[in-house]
Amino acid sequence: MWLSDERCAEMVEASWSSYSVRHCDSDILKRVEICGRDLAWWNHNIFSNVRKELMNKKALLVEAESAAIVSGQNGRVRELKQEINILLDKEVRMWSQRSHTLWLKNGDNNTKFFHCRATKRHKKNKIRGIMDENNTWRIKSEEINLVLVNYYWELFSTSRPNPQWPQLEHIPSMITEEMNLALTDTFTTFEVKEALKQMAPFKASGPDGMPPLFFQHFWGVVDADITNSILS
């Protein structure tokens, strides 16, 4: 939805170039973090006031229609109707994305339906509390996160590792030395770009919170810095 506004690209370019990268992974992650924070501010303060803008435009439309009856000039009325249609389309896409309803086309202007779906999904997915290993009920978000991380850390770790299982000796090796060298070789910028192209735009966002769509669409902005980070 943000990509429909040309100011989004301007915000990304300005934010990305505001931080000096020293060609290491931590600097790239820091730049992504800053860019995400700037986009969140832009969305809250500039882009997402759709409802407020709709109310203002509709009020202006009523005044313009009254004035057009007197003057006979309806140019302002047509202009306001066009702006309202754009805002209505933006509102539908906003709630469509928030509801994660993929089986209904974007052109269905059923804002109430998408709003109900998003609200229901939010209530269903919200974790209000969780019991930790000491049977203590945790309700703060940071405490819930810690309990979940600790649980899976214990689940996928062992206190008595034994990598030298004799059973493994009877499994034939299918990976040749040449194949192993290719698999463990340093990946290239081309491979990163191709992998990003194959990812679903809004799936599997990493710890930075940025979905693949960000890198797919703004690859021209981030390409040089990611390339330098890979080659360094």
Are 160 and 177 in contact, with CB atoms under 8 Å apart?
no
pLDDT in tens, 71-108: 888 888 888 888 888 777 777 776 666 665 554 555 45
Same domain as 131, residue 90? no
- At 192, the pLDDT band (50, 70, 90 cuts) reads confident
pLDDT at position 183: 85
Q: Is residue 74 part of a domain?
A: yes
Degrees to nearest 5, angle at CA 223 with 9 and 27: 95
Residues 114 and 148 in one domain: no
Enumerate the β-bridge partners of residue 138: 130
Measured distance CA(43)–CA(57) in Å, rounded: 20
For the segment 24-44, the average pLDDT, to the nearest whole number, is 76
Q: Calculate what percentage of the chain has a pLDDT beyond 70.
A: 69
Same structural domain for residues 104 and 137? no
Number of domains in the chain: 3
Q: Which of 195, 231, 229 is nearest to 28 (CA)?
A: 229
pTM of the model: 0.45
Range of the domain at 36: 1-44+187-232
